[in-house]
Structure 1
Amino acid sequence: MQKVLVVDDEPQIRTVLRGYLEAEGYNVAEAGDGAEALVALREDPPALVLLDVMLPGIDGLEVLRQLRSFSDAYVILVTARAEEVDKLVGLGVGADDYVTKPFSPREVTARVKAMLRRDNRGDRTDGDSLLRFDGLSIKPDHREVEANGMLVALSSLEFDLLATFAAEPGRVFSRVQLLEKVWGYDFYGDERVVDVHIRSLRAHLGDDASDPHLIATVRGVGYKFVAQPR
């Protein structure tokens, strides 16, 4: 069974989410604060974390920051205010989706199911071919990336985004198309998560959005891969 960690300081919310998630066949663990969550994340890593932003002691953003140093588990951030989502997306904190309170447990469960259907994340890249571009090489079979001769550590979503671009250089992808290809056809979260992961991918690869040599923004449409094949 896939494991989901629910992190929230309200016991009632944890109990409700546990009930819905266990009914779908998930193994559910709980944490009531940030410190407890970090212990649980290291001792028995989950496939996905439902993480409240406002936690006593270590807040959700700090938990996420530390989590990203040792895990690429999916993270759905939970915030109490809808307007907070804009701020969180702008910060590029590395979450895969966002939900706001009050939420429907059914909707949250549906988002978890959609995210975890990406179990076989390597299936979104194919073949044993080595993709080479100026200053960049991608090994889809090994899920490895080198930029200027140095290995680059990418999250699973970041790698899948890069592989999607590199498979069709020059093609313009809308955010919706990228969500369908990388996150999955049944993903219905916030499409701004694409911008967050593009920003993070560019940072890892040393790509400048104002003068891109890899991923260019096509204003009003989406993104395209502009690197030249070798």
Structure 2
Amino acid sequence: MAAEVLIIDDDTRLAAMLSDYLRSAGFTTRSAATGNSGLQEIARKAPDAVILDVMLPDHDGFEICRRIRAGSGLPILMLTAKGEETDRIVGLELGADDYLAKPFSPRELAARLKAILRRTQGSSSIAPMDILRFGRLEIDRGQRCVRLDGNERPMTGYQFALLVNMAENAGRVLSRERLMELTKGEELEAFDRSIDVHISRIRAAIETDPKHPRRIITLRGSGYIFARNQDESDR
């Protein structure tokens, strides 16, 4: 079944162009011209992913992203103004899975959507009980969730994929560039700060004290390392 994408953008010409291209790429689409109507569409029937513009007539995209993320892990790709790094960082901090700056290539947007959906939908080859355990922390690759002391911790699809890649390489130093390659499946520019924002959000979810992390350690100038031994119970 084709994945359905909800486009929330008040630029009706752009939305129509995206709809046409995404349909040719194998998606089905719906559109909403305001943040409120987008939320209503999601409540009526949740799509498989959302394309969300930052600039909307009733609410900004950040507020809509926050409202969506408060109720679901629905994949979100945000559209930001060209060169507005602050917009991208804020969007990621609020739970967006990815961002794309305008103007952009529809082909790149479709490729990013497919990458997001691959990460969030997972692979059917993963066994339901395939769980990585690190003391009090459990990373359930089958259910695609993270639990700390048995309690599920909130995380976006991208952040979950990033955490799995780090956990599967526990004890190894991974550069930011290598983490981006593993998680996105594509080469990104080395100065892209999105990886740091996502790791900060993961730490907030799984660390007892995010300011003094014991699970994801920063090695200045080298990258990150996911610790093998993290809790007293590991020793």
Same structural fold, with TM-score higher than 0.5 when normalized by the shorter chain: yes
1:125, 1:160 within 8 Å by CA — same for their partners in 2? no
- TM-score calculated relative to the size of structure 1: 0.85
Deviation for aligned residue 1:33: 0.7
Deviations 1:44-95 (A, max 9, x none): 212221111010112111110011122222211112231x223431561222
Structure 1 residues 87 and 209: alpha-carbon distance in aligned structure 2, compared to 1, 3 A threshold = farther
Query: Normalization by structure 2: what TM-score?
Result: 0.83
Q: Is the 8 A contact 1:3 1:46 kept in 2?
A: yes
Task: Please give the alpha-carbon distance, in whole angstroms, between the structure 2 residues aligned to 1:143 and 1:113.
Answer: 18
Q: Percent identity?
A: 36
Task: Tell me if structure 1 keeps the 8 A contact 2:116–2:158.
Answer: no
Tell me: CA distance 1:191–1:114, structure 2 relative to 1, closer, same or farther (3 Å): farther
Q: List aligned pairs for 1:205-220, cutoff 5 A.
A: 205-220=206-221
Counterpart of 2:50? 49
Partner Cα distance (1:224, 1:144) in 2: 21
Tell me the amino acid that sits aligned with residue 89 of structure 2.
V
Does the 8 Å CA contact 1:90/1:196 hold for their aligned counterparts? no
C-alpha spacing 1:108/1:188, structure 2 compared with 1 (3 Å): farther
CA drift of 1:123 comes to 5.8
CA contact (8 A) 1:129 1:141 kept: yes
Residue 216 of structure 1 aligns to a residue in which SS?
strand
Other-structure match for 2:107: 106
SS at match of 1:78: strand
Mapped to 2, the partners of 1:126 and 1:134 lie a distance apart of 21
1:113 Cα shift?
3.0
- The equivalences for 1:115-194 within 5 A come to 115-118=116-119, 120-122=121-123, 128-183=129-184, 185-186=185-186, 191-194=192-195
Q: Residue 39 in 1 paired to residue 40 in 2?
A: yes
Aligned 8 A contact 1:85 1:98 in 2: no
AA aligned opposite 2:8 = V
Q: Deviations along 1:83-131, whole A, 9 cap, x unmatched?
A: x223431561222222222223233223223333436415696684543
Distance 1:217 1:123, change over 3 A: farther
Preserved contact between residue 72 and residue 155 of structure 1 (Cα < 8 Å): yes
Aligned to 1:89: 89
Instruction: Note the 1:195-214 alignment, pairs <5 A.
Output: 195-214=196-215
| Structure 1 unaligned spans of 5+ | none
Letter matched to residue 36 of structure 1: S
Preserved CA contact (<8 Å) 2:80 2:88: no
Aligned-residue CA RMSD (Å): 2.7
Structure 1 89/22 Cα, relative in aligned 2: closer, same or farther at 3 Å? same
Q: Which residue of 2 aligns with 1:29?
A: 30
How far apart are 1:187 and its partner, in Å? Answer: 6.7
**Aligned pairs, number:** 228
Structure 2 SS opposite 1:118: helix
Unaligned runs of 5+ in 2: none
Deviates more, 1:206-215 or 1:50-59: 206-215
Amino acid across the alignment from 1:195: D
